[in-house]
Amino acid sequence: MESIKSMSIITMLDLPVRGDDRGSLIALEGGITLPFEIKRVYYIFDTSDGVSRGFHAHKKLQQLMVCLSGRCRVVLDDGVRREEVWLESPTQGLQIGNMIWREMHDLSPGCVILVVAGEYYNEDDYIRSYQDFLELSA
């Protein structure tokens, strides 16, 4: 698990490519490639043109986000700082911890985002109001 960029709230993981002359393969292993155990995997695709997603934080959830195809711009906000990063490579993962507001913008046509999560889906873990997020993170 090698962090190639860890400044402020953006943490990108350089994912190990197990390639050979047939092509490339990346394996994500909980507790090895990722700093948490994996309980859930989901992917986002076929997002309508011009639509942004996210606009929430999680109370406890740890996740890794990888753009497998296309690109998208992710905004992260810890209640004090607001930063953004383009995800455009299947070899790089954006680690997002708890109490980080996230937004996904400018998803390109054909954009596919894989998300690996440390917990099962739980709507109670979501903070969907930015004002509530600011109060809870203060």
Please give the positions annotated as active site.
56
Instruction: Tell me how far apart the alpha carbons of residues 31 and 42 are, in angstroms, rounded to a whole number.
Output: 18
Stretch that binds ligand T46, among 1-9, 16-24, 38-46, 81-89 (CB under 6 A): 38-46
Instruction: Tell me how far apart the alpha carbons of residues 29 and 76 are, in angstroms, rounded to a whole number.
Output: 24
Sequence letter at residue 130: Y
The H or E element containing residue 65 is strand 63-69
Establish if 102 lies at the interface with ligand T46 (CB under 6 A). yes
Establish if 10 lies at the interface with ligand T46 (CB under 6 A). no
Residue 21 C-beta: closest distance to ligand T46, Å:
34
Per CB under 6 A, the list member of 44, 75, 112, 134 interacting with ligand T46 is: 44
Establish if 73 lies at the interface with ligand T46 (CB under 6 A). no
Under 8 Å between Cβ of 28 and 92:
no
Nearer to ligand T46, 56 or 134 (CB): 56
Establish if 45 lies at the interface with ligand T46 (CB under 6 A). no
DSSP bridge pairs for 77: 82, 101
Residue 3 C-beta: closest distance to ligand T46, Å:
20
What binding mask, one character per residue, do residues 117-136 give for ligand T46 by CB under 6 A, x or -?
----x---------------
Q: Calculate the CA dihedral of residues 103, 62, 38, 16 and round it to 10 degrees.
A: 70
Tracing tokens 């197990």 back to the chain, one arrives at 18
Establish if 63 lies at the interface with ligand T46 (CB under 6 A). yes
